[in-house]
Amino acid sequence: MSRFVPVELKHASRLLNHGPTVLITTRDEHIDRRNVMAAAWSMPVEFEPPRIAIVVDKSTWSRELIERTGKFGIVIPGVAAASWTYAVGSVSGREEDKFNAYGIPVVHGPQLGLPLIEEKCLAWMECRLLPATAAQEKYDTLFGEVVSAAADEKAFVAGRWQFDDDTRNTLHHLGAGTFASTGRLVRANISSD
Ligand SMILES: Cc1cc2nc3c(=O)[nH]c(=O)nc-3n(C[C@H](O)[C@H](O)[C@H](O)COP(=O)(O)O)c2cc1C
């Protein structure tokens, strides 16, 4: 049962705008398997309809599952999920279920039934894979349309992230299991002088 609150789809691009490391989740009902991997490379590409891009290497099992099922989930981990993020990004789920292996609880997505994570995490999206472009084969870049999104009600308010304490911050991968977390807010001076 989800404890997150729905995010209006017109605000979905903001969930990725600042470049957090994400978890990509997948599920194939036909073989009764599910999976999760870490991804540092993702970005919004369109406001409405909300569309995003992810880079998923051909060697991953996630890539195979996404292309076979035509859907994927995006989970945005908080700082408390740094070890899960590194762990699921370091082994393949082909042989064993990483959710079980690392004790990661899931909720089920309302539109596509994807496994999503709320524990230690701040937001999620369910996406339908868009038809393949040349970039998919050549640059491993997959495009998806966001069909549902939800977030921790204190972390994402009225279409904006609120990074106001030590726990509600996203992860940004620096390499080799080291992350930076979101820091202080910097406001542009929008007056005319
Ligand atoms: C922090 C982090 C970020 C990563 N970013 C990406 C990425 O953007 N794209 C990618 O293809 N692999 C990325 N990886 C590697 C995959 O998560 C890794 O290959 C994973 O084991 C694939 O799992 P799977 O075979 O179960 O799909 C990243 C790994 C880590 C730890």
Amino acid 192: pLDDT:
61
* Residue of 177, 157, 178 whose CA lies nearest to 168: 157
> Residue 38: CB within 6 Å of ligand 1?
yes
pTM of the predicted model over 0.85:
yes
Categorize the per-residue pLDDT at 1 as very low, low, confident or very high, splitting at 50, 70 and 90: confident
Mean pLDDT of all residues belonging to the chain: 96
What residue owns the CA closest to ligand 1's atom 7?
A: 39
The closest alpha carbon to 101, from 83, 78, 122, belongs to: 83
pLDDT in tens, 106-150: 999 999 999 999 999 999 999 999 999 999 999 999 999 999 999
Pairing mode, if any, of strands 115-116 and 141-151?
unpaired
Q: Is 173 in the pocket of ligand 1 (CB under 6 A)?
A: yes
Sequence-separated (6 or more) residues with CB below 8 Å from residue 66: 24, 26, 56, 72, 129, 142
Confidence of residue 183 (pLDDT cuts 50, 70, 90): confident
